[in-house]
Amino acid sequence: MLIDRLKAGGPAIAKQGILVAFILFMIVFSVMSDRFMTTGNVMSVFRQATIIGVIALGVTIVVIGGNLDLSVGSMLSFATVLVVDLHDKIGPELAIPVMVLATLCLGAINGFLIGILRLNSLIVTLGMLSVIQGLVLIYSGGQNVDIANQTDTWFRFFGRGAIFGVATPIIIFLGLALVFHVIMTRMPFGRRVIAVGGNPTASVFSGVPRSRVVFMTYLISALCVAVAAMILGSRVMGSQNNVGQGYELQVLAAVILGGTSLLGGSGSILRTVLGVLMLAFIQNGLILMGQPYYTQWLVTWAVIIIAVWLDVAAKRGRLFSPIA
């Protein structure tokens, strides 16, 4: 009976665990460094977290739907290079829609291969990672791109602008998070994503259009990448052709830290936001404490494994795996 209790209540405890850990980290950092809890610092960390954050929102939905998306990193390179390069050629008002459409096409290819043809999402998006990276290099001829006139374009608004003193990227990130949160918790589509991720067979037996739902999750993921590319391109006003390299796994780390299960069917947008912020603040806090930049990765390692371990342990009702 105790096991049943744990099974029922365990995931809830684990959820709180991540929140508790987040607060603990914040307190420790505040005590250790008086520069940590200043508006300026918090805002700046927040702003830097938005690129990974926006992408993580889309990936969260893909993962809740029971799949993975490893192609977001090279897709980000693709979208950023495209929007920056086209900015000077056809102007931002055309460059943005062209970039968004092109990125959505890539998402649609993912969605078609995984949702309709039912190919394994890990391998498909791994292949797409490679294909898209190649496309970026072919498109750019291996050259980095930048925007000539960086001060007079309204494109700077996305990365460098502010609304009522709050940086635009933060507003975009939080706005998008709120919209996705509502979609996932208050709209039929979200319910269907959760069902398909939780049990694809039972979903089909309940008349849920599984292929279409999975297809849509990849479109959403691509859309998020497009938004992140606007922020990134606008902030840097240029782009290296491998700018998104390695993002896929950092994004995934944030999503996992937010408690979204890679098995699909459970997870939450708001907790992904927490995961993203936690990673960003750990990084910032360690730097302020005088630790080298890369210590954050060691801490991330431990935090991810402990977080998932507690979640798994709560679900099975014992700390250690029963396998011999």
Consecutive H or E run containing 313: helix 295-316
**Binds other proteins (CB under 8 A): choice among 203, 217, 268, 284:** 203
Look at residues 139, 161, 140 and name the one whose alpha carbon lies nearest to residue 151.
161
The CA distance from 10 to 230, in Å, is 40
Look at residues 48, 252, 269 and name the one whose alpha carbon lies nearest to residue 170.
48
| Residue in the structure block whose two tokens are 């968004």 | 100
Question: Which of positions 51-70 make contact with other proteins (CB under 8 A)?
Answer: 70
- Cα angle 248, 252, 257; round to 5: 155
The CA distance from 3 to 21, in Å, is 25
Residue 237 or 277 having the CB closest to other proteins: 277
Candidate segments 23-31, 43-51, 136-144, 228-236, binder of other proteins by CB under 8 A: 136-144
Minimum distance between the CB of residue 39 and other proteins, rounded to whole angstroms?
29
DSSP line for 241-254: TTTTTTHHHHHHHH
Q: Is 122 in the site for other proteins (CB under 8 A)?
A: yes
User: Which x/- pattern over 291-320 shows residues binding other proteins (rule: CB under 8 A)?
Assistant: -xxxxxxx-xxx-xx--xx--xx--x---x
Question: Which of positions 82-121 make contact with other proteins (CB under 8 A)?
Answer: 113, 117-120
CB atoms inside a 10 Å sphere around CB 122: 14
Minimum distance between the CB of residue 50 and other proteins, rounded to whole angstroms?
20
Residue 58 or 200 having the CB closest to other proteins: 200
**Binds other proteins (CB under 8 A): choice among 171, 262, 270, 287:** 262
Residue 164 or 293 having the CB closest to other proteins: 293
**Binds other proteins (CB under 8 A): choice among 56, 193, 208, 229:** 208
Angle between helix 269-288 and 168-186 (nearest 10): 150
Question: Which of positions 164-193 make contact with other proteins (CB under 8 A)?
Answer: 182, 186-188, 191-192
Q: Is 252 in the site for other proteins (CB under 8 A)?
A: yes
**Binds other proteins (CB under 8 A): choice among 213, 230, 253, 274:** 253
Dihedral of CA 255/283/239/169: which sign? positive
User: Which x/- pattern over 13-52 shows residues binding other proteins (rule: CB under 8 A)?
Assistant: ----------------------------------------
CB atoms inside a 10 Å sphere around CB 127: 15
